[in-house]
A and B are shown apart, each in its own frame.
Chain A
């Protein structure tokens, strides 16, 4: 039995969409752990976009109670990619595919303490398929852990943390009064997240103040946007763009009450250079 009376919290993110697959997984979890509090982080992220899923898990989970959390963005389902669990420094357990999805949130939750391959079939559904491990493996393993009827050491053999798949790192580099970076994420408002944060901003521009003019050059194809630095959206007029530091500490850019990504046609992985205007 669980040591506390608190309802176990399970954070849950997939790219399944809204047509019932996530609800089927919730049904599996609630069948095993009836009092689980399942918090849906999102199911409408871009399909197969492992990096988007990793970003959102990293964004959300530090604000969750400690728990067992499930992430399924799994284009390699049923291939040789491993199903894994990660125990974090904070004590959470992250469950999902070994494709890089779980590493950024694990880093945000105190790092990887221990990783295991989900090989113990006693914790899976009795019958499994090769195309729906969310339902057949990840949901039941997470629910057994949340319910306290299995310990993390029972999910399967330990694997070395340095054998886990990691997403290629996106880096920002600073030079004389400029930052070279890349679009890492586009949110539903059309705000873009860039590699780097306050450190790079200050390295390039010193103590930058609200309203400081900046020039943003998007690469391939080239596109120029004159803009300003601001502490928040409303620091610039409605419809104008602003470079800011987002609530996670990322370098970011948005239109005040507009959709910057749509207006400029900006997508993931677009190179970006920010310099003084």
Chain B
């Protein structure tokens, strides 16, 4: 029997996650914990939701604990979700878990974490539910405690949704935005390669297809290429991002975000060159 498996994602930075891992291992010493990241932009619920969405299909079935929780201690609900693949997701009801739950087959059941018997036995703080509520509940679920014991069942339709921005196609151009900037400075854009291909009446873009990208007042011609090394170092390319499944702009051995001055949600228009 495989060891119980959890993934763990927060915006906590360096040391607070270790305290949460201590709580999990106190309850379930044999837990295996795969830290997805603890360095997402603080309070960036959408960034974290995007990372979780992009990574969960490659993770073993288990409990996915995610805490980016600017509303900690307010009336926002702590929740656990059961997904169709068999995974559980634990975290705040602020949309963070929803795209990942969809990617794991959809929400089968949702519960508010109101059973204090599964919380940390000591006093619960108003500011660190990661340690006091989410981590212990996640550990109990990983230890095969049924999700029904976590608390009151709620209608999945009442969960706070989160939708990634969608591109708009109009007048032969694709209007998109920066969805996510990775550690290399590659920018994942809203939309799919097929959206770009439809601009040139194709099914798929092909290596060497050229597009004009407009950012504010400036415009640049950029080729579509299958990978970074297909253009010289320092040159821009449009490509299909493998990590985050979709349209992206990058620089071979450089940062597209720095080169183009792109930030999250920056608008970009792409049209045939």
User: Which chain A residues have a beta carbon within 8 Å of chain B's beta carbons?
Assistant: 16-21, 23-28, 30-31, 34-35, 47-48, 75-79, 81, 129-132, 135-136
User: Which chain B residues have a beta carbon within 8 Å of chain A's beta carbons?
Assistant: 2-3, 5, 7, 9, 32, 34-40, 51, 54-55, 58-60, 182-184, 226-230, 233, 239-243, 252-253
Question: What is the number of contacts between chain A and chain B, taking CB atoms within 8 Å?
Answer: 102
CA distance A75 to B186 in the complex (A): 13
- Residues of chain A lying within 8 A (CB to CB) of residue B242: 129-132, 135-136
- Residues of chain A lying within 8 A (CB to CB) of residue B5: 30, 34
Contact of B54 among A20, A34, A130 (CB under 8 A): A20
Is B3's CB under 8 angstroms from A21's CB?
no
Is B2's CB under 8 angstroms from A34's CB?
yes
Is A20's CB under 8 angstroms from B3's CB?
no
- Residues of chain A lying within 8 A (CB to CB) of residue B51: 19-20
Residue of A nearest to B248 (CB): A131
Is A23's CB under 8 angstroms from B37's CB?
yes
Is B253's CB under 8 angstroms from A129's CB?
no
Is B183's CB under 8 angstroms from A19's CB?
yes
CA distance A118 to B58 in the complex (A): 21
Is B36's CB under 8 angstroms from A23's CB?
yes
Is A30's CB under 8 angstroms from B34's CB?
yes
Closest CB pairs A-B (n = 4): A17-B183, A78-B227, A129-B242, A132-B242
Is B7's CB under 8 angstroms from A23's CB?
yes
Is A78's CB under 8 angstroms from B34's CB?
no
CA distance A127 to B242 in the complex (A): 11
Residue of B nearest to A78 (CB): B227
- Residues of chain B lying within 8 A (CB to CB) of residue A21: 182-183, 243
A214 to chain B, nearest CB (A): 36
Interface pairs (5), CB distance under 8 Å: A18-B39, A23-B36, A27-B58, A27-B60, A47-B253
Residue of A nearest to B245 (CB): A129
- Residues of chain A lying within 8 A (CB to CB) of residue B58: 24-25, 27-28, 31, 135
- Residues of chain B lying within 8 A (CB to CB) of residue A18: 37-39, 183
Is A78's CB under 8 angstroms from B7's CB?
no
Is B60's CB under 8 angstroms from A20's CB?
no
CA distance A40 to B40 in the complex (A): 19
A117 to chain B, nearest CB (A): 18
A123 to chain B, nearest CB (A): 16
Contact of A17 among B7, B184, B233 (CB under 8 A): B184
Is B59's CB under 8 angstroms from A31's CB?
yes
Is A30's CB under 8 angstroms from B32's CB?
yes
Q: Which of B7, B32, B242 has the most CB of A within 10 A?
A: B242
CA distance A48 to B186 in the complex (A): 14
A203 to chain B, nearest CB (A): 38
Given known contacts A34-B3, A78-B227, A130-B242, is B60 in contact with A16 (CB within 8 Å)? no
CA distance A48 to B228 in the complex (A): 12
Residue of A nearest to B38 (CB): A18
B122 to chain A, nearest CB (A): 30
Given known contacts A27-B60, A34-B2, A35-B2, is B34 in contact with A131 (CB within 8 Å)? no
Given known contacts A75-B228, A77-B227, A129-B242, is B252 in contact with A34 (CB within 8 Å)? no
CA distance A48 to B250 in the complex (A): 14
- Residues of chain A lying within 8 A (CB to CB) of residue B34: 23, 26-27, 30
CA distance A75 to B229 in the complex (A): 7
CA distance A16 to B34 in the complex (A): 16
CA distance A24 to B52 in the complex (A): 10
